[in-house]
Amino acid sequence: MSPSIPSLWLRPNRERSLKRLHPWVFSGAVAKVDGSPVPGQTVVVRANDGTPFGLGAYSPESQIRARMWTFDAERVVDDAFVAAAITSAAGRRAALLAGDTDSARLVFSEADGVPGLVADRYGDTIVCQFTTAGADAWREVMADALFELPGVACVYERSDADVRDREGLLPRVGLLRGAEPNPDLVAHEAGFRFAVDVTGGHKTGFYLDQRDARRAVEAVATDRRVLNVFSYTGAFSVIAAARGAASVTSIDSSGPALEVAARNAALNGVDIGELTEGDAFTVLRGLRDRAKQYDLICLDPPKLANTEGQLEKASRAYKDLNLLAVKLLAPGGMLMTWSCSGAMGMDLFQKVVAGAALDAKRTVRIVDRLHQPSDHPVPLAFPEAEYLKGLVLVAD
């Protein structure tokens, strides 16, 4: 450990979470910081008695004042350290990226030991987001490491997520390495092809985190009347149609997303039926009023609670949506319902959905649970990485 690295000193008795290898140091736990490290600078995190816990990235503007790079204070956080963390994270996806799947999340921030970096690979293109001061400080090194991965032709930055605000960072979007992104970029996954809008799509362009859910839809869609609510670019719709759904209806408030859905249908040579542009709450009420019935409903709303403070309001919205969906289920029909709000745990989500089934006066059973896939891992020491949870329900 170099003596020139500034130290961040914890207040007395605030080292418990670090002892459990949790990577965050909250501002309230900090007693003092030596000197004035710049945003993203590496600091030695120390207990009040001076015991070093390891090295972290300093974030002066954030409530999360430091994020740990390593719990070994003897390590050196330099270009090679950061590059190696990225290379090993990418290596852990090797099995997933075999065969006919060329798209996966290569780096999932703290969950891969690279706080603040998300990097998604679609074929030869990597789309990345730097969401913390620490990641931002190592941006060039990270871009190089991603560009050096085998077969990569383009590294594109989509650092336009709101969370950058909390770190005092401005949005930044654009090419980092290699060739401009291919406007006709396609993600290949288990025999399907999905258009990826690198520059204009949500997040990094595609919902990689619903990969396992796509397989779940694939397994049950045959002969069902399918309603895909919050369909975005229609991945569930395409798969349902390809597996012989009796009918498919997709609802989304975004016209451009529905246009991509139509393109995805063409890319896969299927007819995905009706595309309804509108507010899901309103459209679902309309379907209920017309006594419509479906055998499979996918309900995948955007994040409705960003913080614990928003949970109550979000719970009401989740309940309304699930109530409408349960009412639209034909006898024996299946509802796949998700919450991607990290602040809402599985227990609360299940309670909210149970309330919806009760109000709908239907007997509903959980037959399966869905989670974020293996390229969105959850370290045992960092349960906050878990955000996506789903219930597979069958109504009498």
Which residues here bind ligand SAH, judged by CB under 6 A?
207, 210, 230, 232-233, 235-236, 251-254, 257, 279-280, 300, 302
CA dihedral 196, 201, 205, 208 (to 10 degrees): -110
Active site residue 340: yes
Which residue lies nearer to ligand SAH by CB, 251 or 393? 251
Which residue lies nearer to ligand SAH by CB, 76 or 219? 219
Q: Which of 197, 175, 199 is nearest to 184 (CA)?
A: 197
Which residue lies nearer to ligand SAH by CB, 14 or 371? 371
Q: What is the CA radius of gyration of the chain?
A: 23
Instruction: Please give the backbone phi and psi of residue 363, each rounded to the nearest 5 degrees, phi first.
Output: -90, 120
Of the residues 128, 154, 298, 340, which is catalytic? Answer: 340
* Cβ at position 302, least distance to ligand SAH in Å: 4
Which residue lies nearer to ligand SAH by CB, 133 or 186? 186
Separation of CA 281 from chain center: 23
CB of 264 closer than 8 Å to CB of 194: yes
* Cβ at position 333, least distance to ligand SAH in Å: 19
* Cβ at position 210, least distance to ligand SAH in Å: 4
Which residue lies nearer to ligand SAH by CB, 235 or 356? 235
Beta bridge mates, 118: 108, 129
Which residue lies nearer to ligand SAH by CB, 132 or 210? 210
Residue type, 232: Y
Which residue lies nearer to ligand SAH by CB, 130 or 192? 192
* Cβ at position 218, least distance to ligand SAH in Å: 13
- The helix/strand/coil state of 219 is helix
Opening angle at CA 365, ends 322 and 231, nearest 5: 35
* Cβ at position 2, least distance to ligand SAH in Å: 45
* Cβ at position 236, least distance to ligand SAH in Å: 6
- Strand order of the β-sheet with 247-252 is 274-277, 247-252, 225-229, 294-299, 329-339, 389-395, 364-371
Q: Which residues of 342-352 are buried (b: 16+ CB within 10 A; e: fewer)?
A: bbbbeebbbeb
CB of 1 closer than 8 Å to CB of 70: no
Burial status of residue 289 (CB atoms within 10 A of its CB: 0-12, 13-18, 19 or more)? exposed
* Cβ at position 303, least distance to ligand SAH in Å: 9
Instruction: Please give the backbone phi and psi of residue 63, each rounded to the nearest 5 degrees, phi first.
Output: -60, -30
Residue 309 DSSP symbol: G
Q: Count other Cβ atoms within 10 Å, centred on residue 386.
A: 17
For residues 83 and 89, give the distance between their C-alpha atoms in angstroms, rounded to a whole number: 10
DSSP element (H, E) containing 53: strand 52-58
Which residue lies nearer to ligand SAH by CB, 87 or 254? 254
For residues 196 and 207, give the distance between their C-alpha atoms in angstroms, rounded to a whole number: 10
* Cβ at position 337, least distance to ligand SAH in Å: 11
The residues that are catalytic are 340
